[in-house]
Amino acid sequence: MRRSRRHVHGVAEEMMSPSYERDRYGWEILPHPAHSPDLAPSDFHLLGPLKRHLGGMAFETEDDLISELRNWFDNLDAYFFRVGINSLLSRWQKCIDLHGDYVEK
């Protein structure tokens, strides 16, 4: 049985919709604050070390700052990112236990 392009497009579009996987696996979407610095890896794991690295530095130009940022990011190893990712589970659990309250006070 040959299907029309419109049918194939419709099926593909349905499968790519956010609700497809949710419905397929019976997942529940949990409410999440628009910004939660205790749960965003960029806030709790990345920005602190970056601020400490840049602390006390002065840059003549924006290009100098960008160069230093690139150098810092290029020298981060897989372990740094693994630690940040692995800490998500405990942070999420704390947030659930605190009914959505801020984790790190």
Quick: pLDDT tens for 24-69. Answer: 777 777 666 666 655 666 677 788 899 999 999 999 999 999 999 9
Number of domains in the chain: 2
Is there a single domain that holds both residue 11 and residue 46? no
58/64 Cα distance (integer angstroms): 9
Say whether pLDDT at 8 is over 60.
no
Is there a single domain that holds both residue 25 and residue 53? no
pLDDT score, position 88: 82
Is there a single domain that holds both residue 37 and residue 20? no
Is there a single domain that holds both residue 24 and residue 49? no
pLDDT score, position 102: 62
Is there a single domain that holds both residue 26 and residue 14? yes
pLDDT score, position 63: 93
Domain that holds residue 16: 1-30
Is there a single domain that holds both residue 9 and residue 24? yes
Output the CA torsion 82→88→89→95 (10° steps).
170
Give pLDDT tens digits for 69-94.
999 999 999 998 888 888 888 877 88
pLDDT score, position 75: 94
